[in-house]
Amino acid sequence: MQRQSIKIKRGVGKIKRTTKGGLLIAEATGISDTAQGYKDTPGICTKEQVEAWKPIVDGVHAKGGIFFCQIWHVGRVSNNRFDGVEIHGVHGYLIDQFLKDQVNDRTDKYGGSLENCCRFALEVVQAVADEIGGDKVGIRLSPFASYSEAADSNPEALALFMAKVLNKFGILYCHMVEPRMVKLGEKFETPHSLRPIRDAFKGTFIAAGGYNKEDGNKAVSTGYTDLVAYGRLFLSNPDLPRRFEIDAPLNKYNRETFYISDPVIGYTDYPFLTSDV
């Protein structure tokens, strides 16, 4: 019941951050009991969990928002009113471990060549698209990152291969982490760019990783990406779109509270702008 209570309170945070036409992506959500890797992470594999998500999704829809459920691990997708599904393929977890040749040491059809290393990820995309339709599917990838020592010897080739093959599935979007975000929460100077990958992918492209308002606007206006995803700034500023709109100051986020079990501290306790601003 503690996990259920935490998830519901965090769901309130999702609703509070909803704006009309805005896209919200849920945190990584386990699709089986064995998919859970951390304490108090949400799930969507039991009837109780599915039912608990429904009022949260309804609340987002009531405010005119669009809500995708990000799933990690592989399995079937439950029907519980989300607008779509984002497949979690980043940061050294299951799918990323297949993609990266520095950790994938398999000798069967899922390892060795670039095509083989990408096979599992693409089979997951196919399975989810077959279940709910490709137009409701997105995938998040981090080819340049080396979280949990999951690096690749040629991330550009990996990213381009995935972008081109994903076009065949007609999925809605590809959500990719910037090359500068190699390690957790830190920016690094890099000669790499997402532009070639964005140009290769024919659907909507989302870039993520250390963006502020100014460089986010520039990335969109120059065609570098279609959309920019905000995580840490949105966590600490539940009214981030409004603050961007009027150039209001931003709350500073506290990284030490990002992954604690408390469902309020560091999640729903960041203040909104006062009504007279």
Q: How many helices (H) and strands (E) does the chain have?
A: 9, 8
Residues 6+ apart with CB under 8 A from 148: 91, 92, 93
Q: Which two structure tokens, joined as six digits, stand for 226?
A: 């279609």
79 burial class (0-12, 13-18, 19+ CB within 10 angstroms)?
A: exposed
Catalytic residue among 38, 93, 259, 267: 93
Is 259 assigned a catalytic role? no
Q: Which two structure tokens, joined as six digits, stand for 68?
A: 């995708």
3-state secondary structure string across 15-74 = HHCCCCCCEEECCCEECCHHHCCCCCCCECCCHHHHHHHHHHHHHHHHCCCEEEEEEECC
Q: Report the SS3 class of residue 102.
A: coil
Among all residues, which ones are annotated catalytic?
93
